[in-house]
Amino acid sequence: MVSLLEFTCSAGRKFPVEVRRRKGTRHLRLRLNVHNCIVVSMPWHGSDRSCLKFIDQNRQWLERQINAAPEVISVREWLQQSPWLTAAGRSFAVTIKEAFHTRRAYYRIEAEEAGIGLHLPVQSEGDALSALVRKFARESLAGRVAEQAERFGLNLSKVSVRDQSSRWGSCSSRKTISLNWRLVLIPPRLQDYVICHELAHLTEMNHSRRFWNLLESYDPDRREHELELDARTPQIMRVRAVGVDG
């Protein structure tokens, strides 16, 4: 069972509190998720009053987490700060343009400028840019996975691109790879690292020594890439996606 409360920090900012009551849970646990929502896990019969008391007891720790957390921003805000998208092992400069003769948003690779034009109808809805970037992610990531799988002589059944809240990717026992659409927002070397990580799971469905050895054969710099990705993750996971899950 999930209910919502509210927390006001000392600076006056208000944050939603998601209370998750679980059968079998014995202790209260507190965390800040990538949407900057406070999440409290507690026993099934725990009261809102006890939840708020627990939050207040941990106020100093929680405010440190809030102060250290990047803000949640939109896709448009991210592209204004960092106007690049990754595809096919390259970074492309992004320009957002108005499309006057169509009602549908589309993107176009502009080879001469080494860029990508994101074309939005003049009367487009507020989520049109987000939806277009996610369309680009679905198509470009599927192509990059296919390239890398062929490079390593691997077979996979399906690639899906979704809006995971905290994971960059996953691989199922049916050899289906699922990737986070935000992979198009990071540098090519890190995008390829995540793809190689999931491709290695096609052979080793675990994190055994055999898995890490295999991954290092795919990406010899995987340790450096892991550290860099970990450093970037808190900020990029807070880029807000709008629209239906891909």
Encode the chain (246 residues) as per-residue pLDDT tens digits: 677 899 998 888 888 999 999 888 889 999 999 888 999 999 998 899 999 999 999 999 999 999 998 999 999 999 999 999 999 999 999 999 888 777 889 999 887 668 999 999 887 666 899 999 999 999 999 999 999 999 999 998 899 999 998 899 999 989 999 999 999 999 999 999 999 999 999 999 999 999 999 999 999 999 999 999 999 999 999 998 765 444
Q: How far apart are CA 222 and CA 83, in angstroms?
A: 26
Q: How far apart are CA 154 and CA 141, in angstroms?
A: 16
Q: How far apart are CA 227 and CA 233, in angstroms?
A: 10
For the chain, residues classed under CATH 3.30.2010.10 are 74-240
Say which CATH topology domain 74-240 has: Zincin-like (3.30.2010)
Q: What's the whole-model pTM score?
A: 0.85
Question: Identity (one letter) of the amino acid at 52?
Answer: L
